[in-house]
Structure 1
């Protein structure tokens, strides 16, 4: 068995990071199904393909909530967190070979790290933009993106419109600013270790000082 692994939400300031592994017997199993890098597909198309992926292939999801990411970042870099999560997804699928989207400038080094984090090491093919090169990784990219989008949608129902959760999204920043201003702290769904949060908190505290 082989698998493709990719993640969604690595750089998000709100919500979880979702890592997905999708397994099959050969790369050809994933060809001609319309699997592409999730960023190039419309939300509706991703949803359609997601149903194909979870019904036809074995999948494994690793979901790291914001608080868990903050805790891990006390002793690990974000790339190490992702590498360990990639390894965990591959282990869950019990594969002999894994294709991963490299999260390191050095593709080979990243592949070695992922393999070393596995209890039963597999061959790891690590490449930049693997989600565009290999349909099996595209499938993982799509499934991770849809799973995370569904979680973000549920969080918006609970907390109000939080946008996409990324620092580049004005809705996300507006939500964070209002929440921190009104509650004096970052929401539980926010990654406190992100500079985005500390910058907003510092700006609000500075305004409060000048109010006096």
Structure 2
């Protein structure tokens, strides 16, 4: 078996990061399906392909919620945490070879980081933009994106409109600003170790001081 690994939500300030591994006996299994980098697909197309991938391939996912990411960042860098999660997803499928979307500027170093977290031998091919080069990694990117989007939609049912969860999303920032303004603390679904959160807390503190 060969597998592809990718993640969704690494840079998000709200919600989980999801790592997905998709395993196939041959990449020809994915021929003709229209699998490509999840960012190039509409939500409807991702959902359709997700169902097909689940039927045709072996699939494993790892979910790290906001508090998990905050806890792990005390021990290691985010890249190291992603490498460990990539290895955990790979280990669930036990392939002989895995293609990973490198989360480090140095692709060789990232491959070694992933290998260092594996209990069984597996060839690691680490490349930038692997989700655009290899169909099996594209498939993993689709699975990770769909699983994360479903998780964010579930959180929105509880918290209201939270946007995509990324710092670049004005809806997400409006939600965070309003929540912190009301509760004086970030929501449970926010990554408190992110500068976005600490900056908003500092702004709230400054505005309260200005009231005196």
User: Could you say whether these structures have the same fold, taking a TM-score greater than 0.5 normalized by the shorter chain as the test?
Assistant: yes
RMSD (Å), alpha carbons: 0.7
Unaligned runs of 5+ in 2: none
Number of residue-to-residue matches in the alignment: 212
TM-score relative to the length of structure 1: 0.99
Is the aligned partner of 1:61 residue 2:42?
Answer: no
Aligned equivalent of 2:44: 44
Please show how residues 187-198 of structure 1 align to structure 2 within 5 Å.
187-198=187-198
For the 8 Å contact 2:101–2:131, the answer to whether it is kept is: yes
Match of 1:86 in 2: 86
The residue number in structure 1 matching 2:132 is 132
> 1:121 Cα deviation (Å)?
2.7
- Counterpart CA distance in 1 for 2:152 and 2:121 is 33
Partner of 1:153: 153
Q: Is the 8 A contact 2:191 2:197 kept in 1?
A: yes
Q: Is the 8 A contact 2:29 2:56 kept in 1?
A: no
Who is 2:181 aligned against? Answer: 181
In the alignment, the residues of structure 1 paired with residue 31 and residue 126 of structure 2 have an alpha-carbon distance, to the nearest angstrom, of 19
Whole-Å separation in 2 of the counterparts to 1:30 and 1:7? 19
TM-score w.r.t. the length of structure 2 is 0.99
Q: Secondary structure at the match of 1:46?
A: helix
Structure 1 residue runs of 5 or longer lacking an equivalent are none
Post-superposition Cα deviations, 1:159-196, rounded to whole Å, max 9, x if no partner, equal 01000000000000000000001001010000000000
Conserved 8 A contact 2:104-2:110? yes
Moved over 4 A (4+): none
